[in-house]
């Protein structure tokens, strides 16, 4: 069986707690998964991998490269997961290229953005846990169950609520909410796997020793996509 090729798109820094958690999570991947970190300052051929995980750690060395990779995965049907900063950048990319908000920006990178789709949260959630409430009937709820669960955060930015309706009208689905964070998860129906979370599921593997259901589902989607790709 051919190996499943996954790229963790981000600028690896072992000083980051969340990146160390990703490193630990990679040791829990099934043996048929070939997954490596891919720096944003190096071109990523999205069509040459079976899945992309957009890691936390924004702003990135090359923000434009991250946006291009997200767009390519969304358009091409490559399974993609974004966590924390990855979620924020997926929101901006969708706003710009699907919802018609050409000037959509990220408040951390562009404080003067005309359309601050991602803006400061009500309070900083750096190193904080919040109760995540899945939306019944979503793909996220199918993976985690409808019951609330604890999620670790390391962020101060999230979806600006004034743009929520515009993104939903363009086809995005809200998968979960949490106090202080608002929208916690998004997904895109019809895509093999397009999920993003403000919380960081890899942190749970530090205590459970197993892949979070979201990560397991990403692997399953990558495996399905890989069947149709010649290595």
CA pseudo-torsion sign 4, 5, 6, 12: positive
Cα distance between the two ends of the chain? 10
Kindly report, residue by residue over 200-220, the tens digit of the pLDDT.
Answer: 999 998 889 999 999 999 999
| Whole-prediction pTM | 0.94
**Contact between residue 183 and residue 158 where contact means Cβ atoms under 8 Å apart:** yes
For residues 4 and 51, give the distance between their C-alpha atoms in angstroms, rounded to a whole number: 8
Res 123: pLDDT = 87
Strand ranges (DSSP E) for the chain? 4-9, 33-38, 51-54, 80-83, 104-106, 115-120, 128-134, 149-153, 157-159, 173-178, 182-187, 194-197
Strand order in the sheet with 104-106: 104-106, 115-120, 157-159
Phi, psi of 65 (to 5 degrees): -65, -35
Query: What are the sequence ranges of the domains in the chain?
Result: 4-226
Rounded to 5 degrees, what angle do the CA atoms 41, 47, 48 make?
75
Whether residue 79 is predicted with pLDDT greater than 90 in this model: the reply is yes
Res 230: pLDDT = 30
CA pseudo-torsion sign 13, 19, 25, 31: negative
Q: Are strands 128-134 and 33-38 parallel, antiparallel or unpaired?
A: unpaired
Pick the CATH number of 4-226 from 3.40.50.880, 3.40.50.800, 3.20.20.70, 3.40.50.1450: 3.40.50.880
Kindly report, residue by residue over 83-96, the tens digit of the pLDDT.
Answer: 999 999 999 999 99
């Amino acid at each position: 069986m051919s190996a499943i090729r996954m790229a963790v798109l981000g600028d690896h820094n072992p000083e980051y707690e969340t990146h160390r958690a990703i490193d630990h999570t990679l040791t829990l991947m099934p043996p048929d998964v070939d997954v490596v970190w891919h720096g944003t300052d190096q071109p990523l051929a999205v069509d040459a991998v079976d899945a992309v995980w957009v890691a936390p750690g924004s702003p990135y060395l090359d923000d434009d490269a991250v946006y291009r990779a997200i767009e390519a995965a969304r358009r091409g049907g490559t399974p993609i997961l974004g966590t924390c900063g990855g979620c924020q950048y997926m929101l901006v990319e969708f706003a710009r290229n699907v919802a018609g908000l050409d000037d959509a920006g990220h408040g951390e990178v562009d404080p003067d953005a005309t359309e601050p789709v991602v803006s400061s949260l009500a309070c900083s959630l750096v190193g904080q846990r919040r109760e995540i409430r899945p939306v019944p009937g979503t793909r996220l709820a199918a993976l985690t169950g409808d019951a609330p669960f604890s999620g670790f955060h390391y962020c101060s930015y999230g979806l600006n609520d004034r743009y929520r309706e515009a993104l939903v009208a363009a086809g995005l689905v809200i998968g979960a909410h949490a106090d202080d964070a608002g929208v916690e998860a998004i997904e895109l129906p019809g895509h093999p796997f397009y999920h993003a979370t403000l919380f960081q599921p890899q942190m749970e593997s530090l205590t459970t020793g197993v892949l979070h259901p979201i990560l397991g589902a990403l692997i399953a989607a990558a495996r399905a996509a890989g069947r149709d790709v010649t290595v």
